[in-house]
Amino acid sequence: MPSYNPPLRDMQFLLHEVFQVTNEFKAMPKHAEVDVDTINAVLEEAGKFAVNVTFPLNISGDEEGCTLDKTTHAVTTPKGFKQAYAQFVEGGWAALSCDPAYGGQGLPFVVNQCLYEMLNSANQAWTMYPGLSHGAYEALHAYGTDAQKQLYLPKLTSGEWTGSMCLTESHCGTDLGLLRTKAEPLPDGSYKLTGNKIFISAGEHDFTSNIVHLVLARLPDAPVGSKGISLFVVPKFLVNADGSLGERNPIFCGGLEHKMGIHGNATAQLNLDGAVGTLVGQPNKGLAAMFVMMNAARLGVGNQSLGLTEVAFQNALAYAKDRLQMRSLSGTKAKDKPADPIIVHPDVRRMLLTAKAYAEGGRALSTFCSVLIDKELHHPDEKVRQNSAELVALLTPIVKAFLTDNGWTATTMSQQVYGGHGFIKEWGMEQFVRDARINMIYEGTNGIQALDLLGRKVLGNQGASLKKFGKLVGQLVEEEGVNEKMAEFINPIAMLGEQMTKFTTEIGFKGMQNPDEVGAASVDYLRVAGHLVFGYLFARMAQVALREIAAGNADPFYLAKLQTARFYFAKLFPETATLMRTARAGSRVLMDSDAALA
């Protein structure tokens, strides 16, 4: 049976020592009073909830799955899931970072992300139910009318109701311009929606009395393509003016998907048969509103893989210390035992350190982005808000794709540490692998994220956003460039930072001649960019660790951080050289392949 220990020490290191978030909060009136003790207390209690309430349901929820009563269209979640959600709501966790105007606690977003990392480690399938509600909350908070906000946000904030996002249809996934769901105006200003949606995570369940669906659909006179999409809020039960529930809205679950993983989450097929909804935002401008929810979800998906990376690593490490197999190549280490523990073998350490580096780098990136989001939303200086928003936009596809690719690598390597036992269900590792696989697919496949990064976020503004991140790298290089102890961390990012300008320009020029060149290079490009970001963050972490060690701090945490950073730069970061070479190989070898793919 697997176990889980919340990585509170590493979270505190990032929050208080690397990013010094309370200093950042002092510049934001809404968060100026948030202090170190408050953050630590919240995270400690969050860890207890994850360990004691949701983690024990992970394996059983996977085995039981969700069931659909096709007569009533009702979905029953695994045993204990509903009760765990009631505890979640009772503890105020649903409201942690929500607006106090709607009953929220108003804590910074970065604290909420730490909570969700732990929940994802404990039970990703369960965590998706409240996680999707946050996206619905954000979209309505940004684009809803005053009436919609008053009607829905208090219940979403408290967790009394949950939310879902209804985009995908059977004939179109990422290409939402092809969707067919129709919305017809009604005399009272509402709309009647008809159509079918698939792959709707948490689209039906027994947690709450109502589900607030955000649905993309087309108005009768809508232009074709993505410019003709509108967003509607369609509740499971209609809501009366006083907030009480009215009639059942005809948006029903017609089936549940049978999946490779996340069995405890209801992935629903939803049928809208004249369901009543109200318009969110402007007609035919639904994608702008939905992107608020989609971007929140993309950051959330990266966090899902971060959680799985951490829990898989923890269990693989414990197993490697206990499992006896052969003797060390450099001589017997456990002389009192018939064999040495497998952690003495270099390749086992390679796998463990890969998972550890991807967990710690991913946590640093998630924390970094979360602080930027807090600044984007709450900093009084408009320039700071704009710069933060631009960096978040640049980093979002990296969070989604790089963290989930790394999560797949880390969970499979952690499974490999177990040998044959990793393939056996009772150890729990194969579930982490299965659950991690979806994260590379939904909320825009990682190939789509790569196109978004290179085509839109980098080339789309002539590299302006990339240059802003490059300035952060440059500042760190200038600050530590003469520090010999930092050379092993600074030199690689300084070199890659310089290479990125030429690399990006080269692909951009080739793309102007043939757009397929961008598509051919984009996946490799994203991983290069991901390593640049990870390298910058590991250098910052090493900077703090070296400073503490020099000051006489004997906490072994800092030495461990340095050793992990050294492994990352020695064994993982050099992947960038190969990636740049394969990206430069161009599109011809891919597109001039009709015979090979006949």
* Predicted confidence (pLDDT) per residue in 412-428, tens digit: 999 999 999 999 999 99
Assigned token pair, 590: 């891919």
Q: State the average pLDDT over residues 523-540.
A: 98
Let me know: does 154 contact 103? Beta carbons within 8 Å. yes
Mean pLDDT in residue range 358-383:
97
User: What is the per-residue pLDDT for 288?
Assistant: 82
**Is 146 buried (19+), middle (13-18) or exposed (0-12) by CB count in 10 A?**
exposed
CB 167 within 8 A of CB 216: yes
- Say yes or no to pLDDT of 173 above 80: no
Shortest CA distance to 295 belongs to which of 172, 449, 170?
449
Token pair of 239 as six digits: 């809501």
Q: Which of 541, 548, 437, 532 is nearest to 493 (CA)?
A: 532
DSSP state of 55: G
Query: Higher pLDDT residue, 241 or 187?
Result: 187
pLDDT at 573: 98
Closest CA to 6 of 47, 40, 38, 67: 47
pLDDT bucket at 284, cuts 50 / 70 / 90? very high
pLDDT exceeds 90 at position 292: no
488, pLDDT greater than 90? yes
Q: Phi/psi class of residue 257: alpha, beta or left (left: φ > 0; alpha: ψ in -120 to 50)?
A: beta
351-374 residues labelled b (16+ CB within 10 A) or e (exposed):
bbbbbbbbbbbbbbbbbbbbbbbb
Cα distances (Å, whole numbers) of residue 434 to 329, 422, 425, 536: 34, 12, 11, 31
Look at residues 150, 213, 217, 156 and name the one whose alpha carbon lies nearest to residue 181: 217
Closest C-alpha among 587, 492, 575 to residue 528: 575
Residue with tokens 């070898």: 589
Strand, helix or coil for residue 423: helix
Lowest-confidence segment of 48-52, 251-255, 480-484 by average pLDDT:
480-484
Angstrom distance (rounded) from CA 544 to CA 564? 14
Catalytic residue among 169, 443, 480, 548: 443
For residue 245, give the DSSP letter. E
Q: Which among 154, 404, 203 has a CA at the least distance from the CA of 300?
A: 404
Are 391 and 468 in contact, with CB atoms under 8 Å apart? Answer: yes
Which range, of 164-178, 256-270, 358-372, 410-424, averages the lowest pLDDT?
A: 164-178
Instruction: Assess whether pLDDT exceeds 80 at residue 460.
Output: yes
Catalytic-residue membership of 443: yes
Tokens of 445: 């496949």
pLDDT band at 140 (very low <50, low <70, confident <90, very high): very high
Buried b (16+ CB within 10 A) or exposed e, 48-71: ebbbebbbebbbebbebbbebeee
Instruction: State the burial class of residue 463 (Cβ atoms within 10 Å of its Cβ: 0-12, 13-18, 19+).
Output: middle
Q: Over 90: is that where the pLDDT of 296 sits? A: no
The pLDDT confidence band at residue 365, using thresholds 50, 70 and 90, is very high
What share of the chain has pLDDT > 90, as a percent? 94
Burial zone of 242 (CB within 10 Å; 0-12 exposed, 13-18 middle, 19+ buried): exposed
Overall average pLDDT of the 289-293 stretch: 78
Contact 562, 437 (CB under 8 A): no
User: In this predicted model, what pLDDT tens digit does every residue of 44-63 receive, in sequence order?
Assistant: 999 999 999 999 999 999 99
Average pLDDT on 310-338 reads 96
Pairing of strands 211-217, 162-166: parallel
* Residue 498 parent element (H or E): helix 487-513
Residue pointed to by tokens 């397929």: 516
CA torsion sign for 434, 439, 440, 444 is positive
Average pLDDT, the chain: 96
At 257, the pLDDT band (50, 70, 90 cuts) reads very high
How many whole angstroms separate alpha carbon 184 and alpha carbon 252?
19
pLDDT of residue 294: 80
**pTM over the 0.95 mark:** yes
